[in-house]
Structure 1
């Protein structure tokens, strides 16, 4: 019988072991939000939070209840822009990255 691991275990382990990968996921989540794919972006953010600082620490950083943050980052969550900004700021600080947006002209 072949040994297998869940997708979540694999991603969480990689996030914990590879800061560049974690930073790339944060960048991808921001890009997805800006490009109109919030469902996937929330799932990526949730995985990042779970594998790094955790929801209790995120709650302290953002001054939001942990349960509310869980709901916001669920696949059907609906965080407002202030909450998203706070989450991205906390994650950026934790991962030691600064998020900048660069507009590319449409052709």
Structure 2
């Protein structure tokens, strides 16, 4: 019985690690201003995570691949974008796995 419990525990840990994969999606800027910061957080979080384009920006008319490597098993995130013209955008409860991309536009 102890051997079986150990095997089940190993299987459970392996399964949970497999579910905690990085989330990759395409960030597209069709707005008139460059995106200077892009933050995400799980919808259950009370604070924004680090800037995913730290040290860079996403100019108007361009797109980049973004990776969320937070170890979470969720696909549902809130997003915060900051633009070169001082504008900000917040969007909530987005299923980034289903969407595959996120587009900014005016």
TM-score computed with the length of structure 2 as normaliser: 0.24
Considering Cα pairs closer than 8 Å and 6+ residues apart, tell me whether 1 or 2 has the greater RCO: 2
Higher-helix-fraction structure: 1
Query: Larger Cα Rg: Structure 1 or Structure 2?
Result: 2
TM-score computed with the length of structure 1 as normaliser: 0.24
